[in-house]
Amino acid sequence: MAKFNRELARKRRHLRLRKKISGTAQRPRLSVYRSLRHIHAQIIDDTTGHTLVAASSAEPELKGKLAIGGNKEAAKQVGLVLAQRAKEKDISKVVFDRGGYIYHGRIAALAEGAREGGLEF
């Protein structure tokens, strides 16, 4: 009997989501990746395949402010920084790609921070 692989299951869910979610120039995709120690988010235009804006709890700018990079407070700060950088590039509306993770905890905190920063999704 095969052992359940949590990461493989997440990747399958993400592929299933990506069939439905795609970012355009008018409404790019906000993609989230969560590791045990950090959280990463980027805004991507899928038509050209370019990352427009990115933020991470592993960046030196945020690493100094945060005691731990892998908790909800860090995720919210990453969302706020990402929204601020998106505003500088005139991005206000995005499509949220949760990356196969459930919308709970750090993923929800990042989304809440991005909404507070002014992004609409």
In order, the DSSP letters of the chain are: -PPP-HHHHHHHHHHHHHTT----SSS-EEEEEE-SS-EEEEEEETTTTEEEEEEETTSHHHHTT-S-SSSHHHHHHHHHHHHHHHHHTT--B-EEE-TTS-SSTHHHHHHHHHHHHT-B-
Q: Which two tokens stand for residue 92?
A: 């206000």
pLDDT for the residue numbered 4: 86
pLDDT the model gives residue 3: 84
| Model confidence pLDDT, tens digit, residues 83-117 | 999 999 999 999 999 999 999 999 999 999 999 99
What pLDDT does 47 receive? 94
Q: What is the pLDDT of residues 10-67, one digit of tens each?
A: 999 999 999 998 988 899 999 999 999 999 999 999 999 999 999 999 999 898 888 8
What domains does the chain contain, in order, with CATH numbers?
A: 26-117 (3.30.420.100)
Give bridge partners of residue 120 from the DSSP assignment. 93
CA distances from 2 to 9, 10, 114 (A): 13, 17, 39
pLDDT per residue as tens digits for the range 71-80: 999 999 999 9
